[in-house]
Chain A
Amino acid sequence: AQSVTQLDSQVPVFEEAPVELRCNYSSSVSVYLFWYVQYPNQGLQLLLKYLSGSTLVKGINGFEAEFNKSQTSFHLRKPSVHISDTAEYFCAVSEGGSQGNLIFGKGTKLSVKP
């Protein structure tokens, strides 16, 4: 069975500092990988996704993630965060061929402080 582990439940960081949100997954088949962002009282917005091809994926708002098959990881990074990046971030996985049947991690709350 597939599963997703987000290693940090909360990540505090100062504005303009770099940040990495960690995600590991387990699956016995090829997978698609996603990062979603959820602002307070809002739905989920797709940041980026890995389906195939280049392992370095660039998304919206300056975020990027790297797929590492040997380490079964898909960590999210941003070189310089803003106050507006404060939100909850979810890593998700699905079996190859499906972008909607998602298994989510428990989320990481990113708090950006001035």
Chain B
Amino acid sequence: EAGVVQSPRYKIIEKKQPVAFWCNPISGHNTLYWYRQNLGQGPELLIRYENEEAVDDSQLPKDRFSAERLKGVDSTLKIQPAELGDSAVYLCASSLEGSDTEAFFGQGTRLTVV
């Protein structure tokens, strides 16, 4: 069974440019998470979806970050415009319906803003 798939694996962009990350969760998983992992730190939750609804986006910097999960399956996370401090690994995770089930993580997208 395929795990959580993220693309691209690596992305280098200049500051002020837009960037988008894509996540395909495990089939049948209704709950989807986006985390950001800064260098030398643990991951931090950005947003959680239950199906297509964002139920917790309190940690998402809404001035430049946006996310969507159309049809409650795949999700995209966008940054516009990117800043140097956005350089990090962006991890997607998914779980069965509800937050009381184990989350499985993708390999992440490593973003470098220059």
- Residues of chain A whose beta carbon lies under 8 Å from any beta carbon of chain B: 4, 36, 41-46, 49, 90, 92, 97-107
Assembled-state Cα–Cα distance A102/B91 (Å)? 13
A85 to chain B, nearest CB (A): 19
- Among A44, A105, A106, the residue within 8 A (CB) of B105 is A44
- Residues of chain B whose beta carbon lies under 8 Å from any beta carbon of chain A: 4, 31, 33, 40-45, 48, 56, 91, 93, 95, 99-108, 110
- Among A43, A90, A99, the residue within 8 A (CB) of B42 is A90
Assembled-state Cα–Cα distance A92/B99 (Å)? 15
Assembled-state Cα–Cα distance A102/B100 (Å)? 11
Assembled-state Cα–Cα distance A103/B99 (Å)? 14
A41 near B107 with CB under 8 A, answer: yes
Assembled-state Cα–Cα distance A36/B93 (Å)? 13
